[in-house]
Amino acid sequence: MASQLSGVALTAEQWQLVEALGSSLTPEHAYWISGYFAGLGSALLRNSGTVSQSPDVRIPSVVTQAEPIAARSLTILHISETGNSTELAIRLATLAVEQGLNPTLVGIADYKVRRLKEEQDLLIITSTHGEGDPPQSGMEFFEFVEGRKAPSLPDLRYAILALGDMSYEHFCGAGKRLDERLEALGAKRLQPRVDCDVDYEDPAAAWSTGILALLAAEQASAISSAASPSKTTGGTQQANNSVYSKRNPFPATVIDNIVLSGRGSTRETHHIEISLADSGLTYEPGDALGIVTNNDPAMVEALLAALSMNPDAPLTIKGQTTTLFDALGKSFEITTATLRFLDHWGELTGTTDIFSAMDNTKRAAFLHDNHIIDIIRAYPLKGLDPQRFVDGLRPLQPRLYSIASSLSICPDEAHITVAPVRYKLHGEPRSGVASGHLADRAVADSVLPVYIQSNPHFRLPSNGEPIIMIGAGTGVAPYRAFMQEREANGGGRSWMFFGERNFRTDFLYQTEWQDWLKNGVLTKMEVAFSRDGAEKVYVQHRIYEHAHDVYAWLEEGAYIYLCGDASHMAPDVHNILVTVIEEQASVQREEAEEYLRDLQRDGRYQRDVY
């Protein structure tokens, strides 16, 4: 034993005493005594003047050696409405430090829920609000813990102090809920929950004393059993050697599908979280997620009805036999008609003349206004062989969505931002194939075949150079990934330009941007909401307002990114960038264009427009 504790350097006499005592102890005794000596030790340390009287007892060396052994982390979390929980938590943390523990004190407003699965020992002080609910600030935490996304917590140990008011029906409801839920998630309760009425001081103090005595005693015993092996966390980067690809998509599970657009919005933008767990798939910020989409079953049914075809009719596709219903659902584009379909249908129905009489413009307009189903309804045909019908169709293609998350913050997940395309045609509501699928049918727990599409031309600079991000609407997605990446791994200055319709309802990921501004991950942000004022304001207007600084950033080596709508925003922003350079550098327009081309060549002007 002595050799194992060589750093302590007790005298031989002291060792004899310790060993003699040790041989006579039950485990409970040993546990208690370890706490006793630990307490004594910290008392000696605090009065270090008296320690020196006994030169052989080198207390500090015990402590320095002990630190890495005290392996379990301790977090004190307070969820407060009026400040009482916070006050008690501060007191608890102070006492813990006095007892030689090393707690992290955190208020729920600053607590990242994802941290929960890394917690080891967690002491929670929570008050209750309304009908057994947590305080407002704790709502998100409770939703996470009580929701589907909650991780199992087999390694967590916890204790809860609940504050409440007896005159309410759901007395200490929040504390009770949390206690039950943490237990259900596999966490171990360190000591029973205490529920306090409005005169909480005494029960709270008793709870605090109890839990700290327990933890301090344990830490002391951890020190004495010095042989405890330290866990090595080999953080080797996993390469993307997944078996899943575009040809063999991963059947991912949808974790959540949230509408980001607030009440009364003219938009309907979804935030969809997808689990990549156990897929081996990895990605980098800037990459896209390939979605193997399918058609709305209602649409398939409507089409079959228009064709008077049997959904169960067998069909062979690439050597595989399937039903017509399945094939139309999964294998073919059945919404927008192509010129080829028009020709095909014209031949089948003998109406080729009608379509060939149209010039190109008219035909394009006709295809815009008439989907496959509309053409079939306008020029119906009975008794057609299903195989003949699908010969005129294109195969259904996967769709790409910019990934809106970073694995550094959201391991095993990919998030996407989707604004479904919805419109009316021939009096019927229609929606985009993939966007409609994602918005309406990619509900939580449903399965979505996905793969990663690398996008090496949309990447954060490798050395933390400043970045200017410009995006409108769902074009914001890759920048959320950028920010998460920089939040986790650091980086230089950043400046976001975001545009949408209305501030109140369409500020996508607003609270996250606010947090990044607050914690400095994001340096500056400009927003343009086109429908808030009498005059329409777009991102390019904000860029022009800040022309001087934008140019200065470029001159200082900033990377500039553009993501979103290819038809209006991208050319408008591009033009304003040329103007900014032209005016700020006092050069000809051609030279300004050349400046931007150079940036693009150097990979400092990256675009992801669609």
Partner 1 sequence: MANTLPPTDRSCDISQPLERLSPDESLKAESDYLRGTIALGLLDRITSAVPGNDIKLMKFHGIYEQDDREVRDERRRQKLEPAFQFMIRVRLPGGICTTERWLKISDLACAHGNETLRMTTRQTFQFHWVLKQNIVPVIRGLHEVLLDTVAACGDDSRGVMATVNPQFPALQAELAALAKTVSDHVIPKTRAYHEIWYGEKRIASSEPEEPFYGQTYMPRKFKIGFVIPPNNDIDIYAQDLGYIAIIGEDGKIAGFNVAIGGGMGRTDKAPRTYPRTASVIGFITPDRLISVTDAVMSVQRDYGNRADRSRARFKYTVDDKGLDWIKLAIEDRAGPLESARPYDFTSNADIYGWIESDDGSHHFTLFIENGRLNRDMLDKIARIAHVHKGHFRLTPNQNLMIANIATADKPEIEALLRETGLIAFNERSVLRLNSMACVALPTCGLAMADSERYLPDLITKIEGILTRYNLHNEPITLRMTGCPNGCSRPFIAEIGLTGRAPGKYNLYLGGGFHGQRLNRLYRENIGEPTILEALDEVLGRYATERLPDEHFGDFTIRAGIIREVTEGRFSND
The contact set with partner 1 (CB under 8 A) reads 130-131, 136, 139-140, 143, 165, 167-168, 198, 258-263, 271, 503-505, 507-514, 517, 525-527
- Buried b or exposed e, range 515-531, using 16+ CB within 10 angstroms: bbeeeebbeebbbbbbe
User: Helix 569-584 to helix 589-601 angle, to the nearest 10 degrees?
Assistant: 110
Phi (first) and psi of residue 466, to 5 degrees: -60, 150
Identity of the residue, 49 or 533, whose beta carbon is nearer to partner 1 in the bound complex: 533
CB-based burial label for 569 (10 Å; 0-12, 13-18, 19+): buried
What minimum distance in Å lies between the beta carbon of 147 and partner 1?
A: 11
**Residue 235 structure tokens:** 């953080």
Identity of the residue, 140 or 594, whose beta carbon is nearer to partner 1 in the bound complex: 140
Q: How far apart are CA 318 and CA 126, in angstroms?
A: 60
Identity of the residue, 66 or 483, whose beta carbon is nearer to partner 1 in the bound complex: 483
Residues with Cβ within 8 Å of 558's Cβ and at least 6 positions away in sequence, in order, are: 465, 466, 467, 468, 493, 495, 604
- Buried b or exposed e, range 112-148, using 16+ CB within 10 angstroms: ebeebeebebbbbbbbbbeebebbebbeebbebbbee
447-453 sheet: strands from edge to edge: 399-402, 288-291, 447-453, 250-259, 270-275, 413-418
What minimum distance in Å lies between the beta carbon of 286 and partner 1?
A: 21
What minimum distance in Å lies between the beta carbon of 133 and partner 1?
A: 10
Identity of the residue, 244 or 507, whose beta carbon is nearer to partner 1 in the bound complex: 507
What minimum distance in Å lies between the beta carbon of 112 and partner 1?
A: 14
What minimum distance in Å lies between the beta carbon of 160 and partner 1?
A: 22
Reference 475, options 506, 453, 450, 452; nearest CA is: 506
Identity of the residue, 139 or 150, whose beta carbon is nearer to partner 1 in the bound complex: 139
Identity of the residue, 281 or 467, whose beta carbon is nearer to partner 1 in the bound complex: 467
Give the count of beta carbons closer than 10 Å to the beta carbon of residue 291.
26
What minimum distance in Å lies between the beta carbon of 473 and partner 1?
A: 15
Identity of the residue, 379 or 503, whose beta carbon is nearer to partner 1 in the bound complex: 503
- Buried b or exposed e, range 300-315, using 16+ CB within 10 angstroms: bebbbebbebebeeeb
Identity of the residue, 265 or 352, whose beta carbon is nearer to partner 1 in the bound complex: 265
What minimum distance in Å lies between the beta carbon of 584 and partner 1?
A: 23
Identity of the residue, 163 or 560, whose beta carbon is nearer to partner 1 in the bound complex: 163
What minimum distance in Å lies between the beta carbon of 540 and partner 1?
A: 16
Q: How far apart are CA 308 and CA 321, in angstroms?
A: 21
What minimum distance in Å lies between the beta carbon of 130 and partner 1?
A: 5
What is the DSSP pairing of strand 559-564 with strand 467-472? parallel
Q: Give the 3-state secondary structure of residue 42.
A: helix
Identity of the residue, 511 or 586, whose beta carbon is nearer to partner 1 in the bound complex: 511
Phi (first) and psi of residue 115, to 5 degrees: -65, -20
What minimum distance in Å lies between the beta carbon of 151 and partner 1?
A: 19
Q: How many CA atoms lie within 13 A of 274 on its CB side?
A: 32
**Residue 265 structure tokens:** 């919005």
